[in-house]
Amino acid sequence: MTVNPRFYPLLATIAIFVLAYTVCWIQFPAMLSTRVVGNLLTDNAYLGIVAVGMTVVILSGGIDLSVGSVIAFSGVFIAVVLRETSLHPLAVFVLLLAVTTAFGALMGLIIHSLAMPAFIVTLAGMFLARGAAYMLTIDSVPISDPFYDFIKSSYYLMPGKGRLTVIAGVMLLTVLVGALVAHRTRFGASMFALGGGEQTARLMGVRIGRLTVLIYAFSGFMAGLSGIVFSIYTGSGYPLATVGTELTAIAAVVIGGTILTGGAGYVVGTLFGVLTMGLIQTYIVFDGTLSSWWTKIVIGLLLLLFIVLQKGLLRISSAGQSVRHA
């Protein structure tokens, strides 16, 4: 059985991850343990979640630059509300998700109704959310809540003493839900259609306006969820947190094999993109002598590799087509 060329970028992503892990394992055999895997998932949980939202946006041919700020806003919002009121954290979560989802939906509405590029609208959203976080507080606000302590101390003990934390579980669940939504629903199909070409999508019966609002609302929801997870992970809210996370998420999406111009890619690929980036960091920690900016260099190289790879694949497939034509 031959492999459908659709899967090439996804397979390339997985292959790179496996290869990288093998290299790490050969050098540091201790890296092949569920402890490392558990930490990899936990440390990158917030990034994985926001990257799922980013994947959906990019697949539809858009971009969402606001998510990093929204994560920071979420952390501050939760911390401040918990400090000032006696609401249960779960109630605060619901409130927060409502706010960030509405924020995303509003950006989607502006993008569609004013026919503005997503880049500029979400750039405005980025400043707005960051500013809103500063309005709530300019300090790092610690979160001390029994519910937080409970979540932080709960985990599933994997064989080999690795801990699958709640937030890692939430991340994996998010990827699963994201993949189902993107690849197994009509909403997902419309989103791919929009990424393939707005005019054609409209002719095929896609309601562009509604879809655009939903896509950015989804990304806003994911950014809010990521903010919750980040606040659990760090145990505080800080308005200067996660600066540039939107770009890291975009990098993860691209390394995950999604084409930046939209219309082709896989949510599962994004998980591997996030894990590959996390793996590089883990390697540097294991090595101990390397400085952490090596992470950035390797990620930069990986991004370049993927851009070249995508162009190469495009060229191969178009060459195949021209042969058929001749």
- Residues contributing to the site for other proteins (CB under 8 A): 4-6, 180, 183-186, 188-189, 192-193, 195-197, 200-201, 203-205, 263-264, 317, 320-321, 324-326
| CB nearer other proteins, residue 85 or residue 317 | 317
Strands (E), the chain: 141-142, 155-157, 163-165, 236-237
| CB nearer other proteins, residue 201 or residue 279 | 201
| CB nearer other proteins, residue 182 or residue 299 | 182
Q: Which residues share a beta bridge with 165?
A: 155
Q: Reduced to 3 states, what is the DSSP secondary structure of residue 4?
A: coil
- Number of CB atoms found within 10 A of residue 151's CB: 18
| CB nearer other proteins, residue 113 or residue 318 | 318
Select from 295, 298, 271 the least CA-distant residue to 285: 295
Taking the complex as a whole, the smallest distance from the CB of residue 64 to other proteins amounts, in Å, to: 20
Taking the complex as a whole, the smallest distance from the CB of residue 196 to other proteins amounts, in Å, to: 4
Taking the complex as a whole, the smallest distance from the CB of residue 305 to other proteins amounts, in Å, to: 22
- Number of CB atoms found within 10 A of residue 16's CB: 20
Taking the complex as a whole, the smallest distance from the CB of residue 63 to other proteins amounts, in Å, to: 17
d(CA 110, CA 87): 33
| CB nearer other proteins, residue 78 or residue 267 | 267
Taking the complex as a whole, the smallest distance from the CB of residue 31 to other proteins amounts, in Å, to: 36
Token pair, residue 295, equals 């992470």
Select from 179, 203, 171 the least CA-distant residue to 265: 179
Token pair, residue 170, equals 């939430």
Taking the complex as a whole, the smallest distance from the CB of residue 299 to other proteins amounts, in Å, to: 26
Q: Is the distance from CB of 68 to CB of 193 less than 8 angstroms?
A: no
| CB nearer other proteins, residue 55 or residue 66 | 55
Q: Is the distance from CB of 88 to CB of 147 less than 8 angstroms?
A: yes
Q: What angle do CA 250, 307, 254 make, to 5 degrees?
A: 25
| CB nearer other proteins, residue 88 or residue 184 | 184
Q: Is the distance from CB of 120 to CB of 225 less than 8 angstroms?
A: no
- What single-letter DSSP state applies at residue 66? T
Taking the complex as a whole, the smallest distance from the CB of residue 55 to other proteins amounts, in Å, to: 15
Taking the complex as a whole, the smallest distance from the CB of residue 220 to other proteins amounts, in Å, to: 23
| CB nearer other proteins, residue 208 or residue 285 | 208
d(CA 324, CA 79): 61
